[in-house]
Amino acid sequence: MKKIVYPMLLSAVLLTACKKEENKIQEPMTDPPVENSNEVQQNTVEDVVAVPKFQYAEADQFAQEYSKFVNDFKTATANNDSEALKTLGPKLNEYQKRGVELAKRVPQDEAVAFQDFLNRLESYIK
């Protein structure tokens, strides 16, 4: 007898609980969150890498230019700016080639630091 009564009682409780949930009317939120429409949300990218100072003047100038370019490229990528990416895309290849050529000419005492700098910038682009 217990085997029949307990399952019946349990199923009756479940059925009434489900019915109450079906018939319940969902009311709108009384105090919905409000977004501030005055603030324009922009995707900005902070400076990628702190640019080290190099004794070799050409390497120092290239590091400054390339770092600025990578910041611009990341900003254009984050904002999905197709016009900017069209102009920056070919320049990326040019900067990469210049970096490889310049790495061969940098004095040996700065070569490791310069190569590390290039590798960090490359990792931010990918």
State residue 64's pLDDT score. Answer: 93
Measured CA to CA, the distance from residue 117 to residue 52 in angstroms comes to: 8
Q: Which long-range contacts (CB under 8 A, 24 or more apart) does 100-107 make?
A: 102/58, 102/59, 102/62, 105/56, 105/58, 106/54, 106/56, 106/59, 107/55, 107/56
- Per-residue pLDDT reduced to its tens digit, 11-64: 777 767 655 555 566 677 677 666 665 554 444 445 556 788 888 889 999 999
DSSP category for residue 31: S
pTM: 0.58
Measured CA to CA, the distance from residue 26 to residue 4 in angstroms comes to: 36
Query: Residue 91's Cα: distance from chain center in Å?
Result: 22
Q: Does residue 5 have a pLDDT over 90?
A: no
